[in-house]
Amino acid sequence: MSIRFTFAAAMAGVMAFAVPVAKADEFINILTGGTSGVYYPMGVALSEIYGQNIEGARTQVQATKASVENLNLLQQGKGELGFALGDSVKYAWEGDAEAGFKAPLTKLRAIAAIYPNYIQIAALKEAGVTTVADLKGKSLSVGAPKSGTELNARAILGGAGLTYEDLAKVEYLPFAESVELMKNRQLEATLQSSGLGNAAIKDLASSQDISIVAVPADVVEKIGAPYIAGVIPAGTYKGQDADVPTAAVINFLVTHEGVSDETAYQMTKLIFDNLDKLKAAHSAAAGIVLENAPKDSPIPLHPGAERFYKEKGLL
């Protein structure tokens, strides 16, 4: 009996030793933008999707100054997924110091091209601004310094032959703060780069008479790639009764080379398995099209994302 007990105890010890260790948590930090923009609610939706569908995943959503900060954080390994504008991604890969990148960010990898950002300039009606050239001598908020929005602002003004020196005042503020200044008559216009239906501009239009400012096609043509001509459809904002021409630039979801192929694959696949949830989070997600997702990236695709697109016959 003693021998049998000793043998059983020994076997129990072997079995206990052989039990596989539970899978370590997969941490996914999603870098977004200001809470009043489009990146943030979409990041929250992705966080929920990944948390529910990637085994062992612990997710977090981080509000940031958006594109430029997100790309620098990804290079440092301080995030697993980030939203960024296409021109910012291009500048990051090249190491454009003027745009906020001290050296080429060579660890960046693309997950997907998603929806287009539209340059949306809202001005108080009383300011008399109807086209981007009319901003001369006016006060304008251009987004946080060296954010993706601010880089867009420089490009758009440059296409119209203007610089910051041509403005009466330049404010470097996030979307919601810009709108608060306009409500208080301390600012005449705000340039916001986001998906259509921007919450901050909707808020402004609900309490103030505003104009949605045109960026004519010839201005967009002068700027060139990665900018393309776009339209803000009539009715996007209260009081906007006509289509307004503007510029658009594609957004990307970006990761880095240190993220595993399997995690990158799952992050990519789950975007397209859950487009309805992303559209519910923000209408801008209606612009996400699977066939366009692997196209025109300024940086290499992550191998995990590449595997997904190959499965779909897109590469």
Burial 177-193 (b: 16+ CB within 10 A, else e): bbbebbeeeebbbbbbb
Where does the pLDDT of residue 7 fall: very low under 50, low under 70, confident under 90, or very high at 90 and above? Answer: very low
Alpha helices in 148-216, H assignment, sequence order: 148-159, 175-183, 199-207
End-to-end Cα, the chain, rounded Å: 67
Looking up tokens 């880089």 gives: 151
Residue percentage of the chain with pLDDT more than 90: 82
Peptide bond into 20 cis (omega under 30): no
Q: Is the pLDDT of residue 12 over 80?
A: no
> 78: how many CB neighbours lie within 10 A of its CB?
14
Q: Which CATH class is domain 117-249?
A: alpha beta
List, by residue range, all CATH 3.40.190.10 domains of the chain: 26-116+250-311, 117-249
Q: What is residue 311's predicted lDDT score, i.e. its pLDDT? A: 98
Q: What dihedral do alpha carbons 80, 83, 89, 91 form, nearest 10°? A: -110
Q: Is the pLDDT of residue 21 over 50?
A: no
For 130-153, write each residue's pLDDT tens digit: 999 999 999 999 998 878 899 999
Rounded CA-CA distance 140/34 in Å is: 18
- Domain 26-116+250-311: homologous superfamily in CATH: Periplasmic binding protein-like II (3.40.190.10)
Where does the pLDDT of residue 36 fall: very low under 50, low under 70, confident under 90, or very high at 90 and above? Answer: confident
